[in-house]
Amino acid sequence: MKYRIDEQEEILYLDLNSGVTAEKAIGQIRSLLRERSVLRSWDWIIEAHVLPSDLNVDHLAELSQAYRVSEAHAAEAQAVVAMVSHDRYLHLWAQVMDFHFPGRRHKVVPDLATARGLTARERAQRR
């Protein structure tokens, strides 16, 4: 999995299109969250035209535990995760992830430009 941290915009970019397994991606994300806990409150853009074929609900639960923040912080943090994909069922996963990740809303968008626009609008509303 490739990633990029945009310090100025406070966005974590993740690219799952490299054929990475869910196990490896979850491990890398967990490491990132341990090293940089501030990423929990940032917006994320996930390029996911090719989702890991081994991805399942257990992986979401594992990632949710690594992400978990306090209830008070979750109420304050209103970060958005923009998932760039044409998968016609990913919006269903997005709804499940909203439940598992308090303080985050997950949206599926068709391209990177739309994802950047979404995060910019969300950030402007929070300020």
Q: What is residue 93's predicted lDDT score, i.e. its pLDDT?
A: 87
What ranges make up the beta strands (E) of 10-126? 11-15, 43-47, 79-84, 104-109
Per-residue pLDDT tens over the stretch 94-111? 998 888 888 889 999 999
Q: What is the DSSP letter of 42?
A: S
H-helix or E-strand spanning residue 93: helix 90-100
What range does the domain containing 65 cover? 2-126
Residue 3 confidence class, pLDDT cut points 50, 70, 90: very high
Per-residue pLDDT tens over the stretch 41-99? 899 999 999 888 888 888 888 888 877 754 445 455 689 999 999 999 999 989 988 88
| CATH number assigned to the domain comprising residue 55 | 3.30.750
For residue 22, give Cα distances in angstroms to 26, 51, 102: 6, 8, 21
Total count of domains within the chain: 1
